[in-house]
Amino acid sequence: MSTIESTLTRLKQARQQHTRRRQAPIVPAQNIAGQALVIVIAIMTFLSCLTLGAVTLVRDSANVWQTQIAREATIQIRPDEGVDMEAALAGAAGVAERFDGVSEISIVDREATARLLEPWLGSGLDIDELPVPRLVIVTIDESAPPDFAAMREALAAEVPSASLDDHRNWVDRLVSMARTTVTIGLGILVLMLSATVLTVVFATRGAMSGNGHIIEVLHFVGAEARFIAREFRRHFLLTGIKGAAAGGLAAIVVFILFGWWSSRNMATPEAAQATALFGNFAIGASGYAGVVLIVGLISALTAATSHFTVVMHIDKIDIGGADHG
Amino acid sequence: MGPEILRDISFHIPKKSFQFLTGPSGAGKTTLLRLLFMALQPTRGLITVFGKDRSLITQRELPLIRRKIGVVFQDFRLLDHMTTYENVALPLRVRGREEANYRSDVVELLKWVGLGERIHVLPPVLSGGEKQRAAIARSLIEQPQILLADEPTGNVDPPLARRLLRLFIELNRAGTAVVIATHDLNLMDQVDARRMVLANGRLDVHD
C-alpha cells in the first residue's frame, strides 16, 4: 500500500472515530430562544441575589444597632440643691460597680461634659456656673446583663439625685424598627423570588416551544417518556446553570466592588454616614451561601420546568391532542 | 369535537401482508394511519394493535409497542440538527444501543436507499426525495413488524418511486406487514396487492 493510500485510510478511520465520539446531542445546542433564556435567567438571578444581599445587609446592620445600644447604660446625676456632684458621681459609680454583669464604669468628666454641650452653649463654658446634669457610663456584659431593677432601687436609696437609663426605650424602638425593616426586606425578597420563578418558568416554556417537533419525533420512534424528559432536563439544567452562575457571579462582583469602595472611602463623611447605617457593605458568609442557593434553585427550576413541559407534551400527544400531520 | 372523518370502518391487517391505502386527498388516509400508529384516539369504536385493545394500552406500554411499528411521515419529520446518519440511527439510539453495534447496519441501509454519499449531510441540505428516503430508512432500521408509509413516493421521480416500492416489497418478503397510503395509481398498478379505498369517510377493501 502506498504512503498516500495508507494516509487516506488512517484519515478515514480517524474520521469514523471522530463521528463515533461526537454524535449530535438529542436536544440541539442553543438557538435564539435558548440564548435569550440564558440572558433572562442571568438577569433574574442577578436581581434576586442583589435583593438577598441587601436584605442580609439590613439584617446585619439592624443586629449591630441593637447590640451597640444595648451594650451601655447611663446613670444621670441631677444637679439638685445641696448635692455634692463629685461625691454623687463617685457614689453612683460605686453602686453600679457592685453589680455582676457590669464590665466597665466611666464618669464623664467636666471637660467631656463641656465638649458635649459645646454645640449648644458654645466654647469656654464654665460648667460650675450652670446646673448641668452629669453622666456615668456603665458598660454592660451583653451575655449576662446586670439586674437593672435592683440597680435602680440601690441608686434611689444611696444616691437620690441619680437616675438610671438602660436605653430600654431606644432599644425597643430600634428592635421594632429593625424588625420592620427586615420584614419589609424579606417581603421584597419573596416578591423578587416569585417574579424570578415565574419569569424563569415562562421563559423556559417559551424556549421549549420550539422543541415540540423533537419531542414528537423521539416519541414516535419509540423513545420512552423518561428518556426524552431526561435529555431535555439535562440540556436545560446546563442552560440554567450557565445563566444563574453568570447572574450570581455578577452579584458577587458587585458586593466585592461595594465592599472595596466603602473601605477605600472610609475616611470621608459620606462613607462614615453610610457605614453608620449599613455597616461596611460586607454581606458575609450567609449572604454568599444565599447566592449559591439561589443559583442552585434557579438551575433546578429550569430543569424541572423542561421536565414537566416534556411530560405534558407527551401526554397531549398520547391523548391525540397534538397537531402532528 | 371536529367533523367526523371516518365512520363504520372495520378491517384487519394480517401479518406479513402488503396493501395500499388509497382515496382522494382529504379522504382520511393520514387520519387512519395516525389511528393505527396510536397518535390519535378514536372518538368511538375499537382498535386492536398486536392483539391489545388500544384504549387499554398504558402510556408506559406505548413506546414499547410503537417500536414494532415503522412510520414514514408525509412531512418526513427529520431532525434538522442531526445528520442523515444520526436521523436514521435515532430509533436505535433512543433504545440505548451502543453506536458501535449498529453503525455498519445504518451505513449499509443508507447506501441501499441511495444515500451513501449523503451520510454526514444535514436534512436542510437534502432534496425532497433524499429526505423521503432518509425517512424511509429510519422507519426500516429496526425491521418493524408493520410499516405504515404516508405518501412515501410523493416527492420522488417515477424511477426512484419504483425503486422504493421494490424496497417495501423486499421488506414485506422479510416478514413485515406493509401499508402504503398513496393516491398514485401508477404505483399501485405495479403490484398486485390488496387495496383499501377510502371515500367519504367509508372504507372499501379490494383483495
pLDDT tens digit sequence for A262-287: 777 766 666 666 666 656 666 778 88
Give contacts of A 20-59 with B, CB under 8 A: 20, 23-26, 28-29
Of A132, A125, A126, A117, which is closest to residue A79 (Cα–Cα)? A132
Q: Rounded to a whole number, what is the distance in Å from the CA of A30 to chain B's nearest CA?
A: 11
Of A278, A41, A42, give the one whose Cα is nearest residue A178: A278
Instruction: Tell whether A314 is within 8 A of chain B (Cβ).
Output: yes
Pairwise pLDDT comparison (A89 vs A178), residue with the higher score: A89
A325 touches chain B (CB under 8 A): yes
Find, in chain B, the residue whose alpha carbon is nearest to that of A217. Answer: B77
CB burial readout A88-122, b (16+ within 10 A) else e: bbebbbebbeebeebeebebeebeebbeeeeeeee
Residue A166 has what pLDDT? 82
What is the C-alpha to C-alpha distance for residues B67 and A42, in angstroms, rounded to an integer?
Answer: 41
Task: Out of A168-172, A309-313, B102-106, B113-117, pick the least confident.
Answer: A168-172
pLDDT of residue A127: 75
Q: Is the Cβ of A222 closer than 8 Å to some Cβ of chain B?
A: yes
Residue A58: predicted pLDDT: 81
Nearest CA in chain A to B91: A221
Chain B environment of A222 (Cβ under 8 Å): 63-64, 66-67, 91, 94-95, 142
CB contacts, 8 Å: A314 with chain B: 59
Which of A219, A220, A325 lies nearest to residue B74, judging by beta carbons?
A325
pLDDT mean for each 10 residues of chain B (207 residues): 80 94 88 89 89 89 90 91 95 91 93 90 92 92 92 83 88 93 88 90 84
pTM, 2 dp: 0.74
CB of A242 within 8 Å of any CB in chain B? no
The residues spanned by each domain of chain A are 29-61+185-318, 79-160
pLDDT above 90: residue A179: no
Q: Which residues of B touch A (CB under 8 A)?
A: 30, 34, 37-41, 59-60, 62-64, 66-67, 71, 73-75, 77-83, 85-86, 90-91, 93-96, 99-100, 103, 120, 138, 142, 150
What pLDDT score was predicted for residue A272? 64
Is A315 touching B (CB cutoff 8 A)?
yes
Q: How far is CA B53 from the centre of its chain?
A: 21
- CB-nearest to A319 from B37, B41, B100 is B41
- Residue A248 above 90 pLDDT? yes
Where is mean pLDDT largest: A56-60, A145-149, A247-251, A282-286? A247-251
Confidence check: pLDDT of A17 > 60: no
Q: What pLDDT shows up at residue A130?
A: 80
**Residue B183 in contact with residue B150, Cβ under 8 Å?**
no
Q: Which of A244, A247, A214 is nearest to A231 (CA)?
A: A214
| pLDDT score of A93 more than 80 | yes
**Which 3 state secondary structure label does DSSP give B129?**
helix
Q: List domains and CATH numbers for chain B.
A: 1-68+144-207 (3.40.50.300), 78-143 (no CATH)
pLDDT, residue B121, reads: 94
Report the pLDDT value the prediction gives residue A54, as an integer from 0 to 100.
87
The answer for residues whose C-beta is within 8 angstroms of residue B178's C-beta and 6 or more apart is B17, B18, B19, B146, B147, B149, B168, B171, B172
- Check whether A222 has a pLDDT greater than 70: yes
Cell numbers at residue A83, please? 448635692
A96-133 pLDDT, tens per residue? 888 888 888 999 888 888 888 888 887 777 777 788 88
Asked if A217's CB is within 8 angstroms of B79's CB, the reply is: yes
Rg (CA), chain B: 17
CB contact under 8 A, B81 and A324: no
When comparing pLDDT for A283 and A303, which is higher? A303
Overall residue count recorded for chain A in this entry: 325
Cell reading at A253? 462582583
The mean pLDDT value of chain A amounts to: 83
Best to test chain B binding among A220, A227, A310, A313 (most B CBs inside 10 Å)? A220
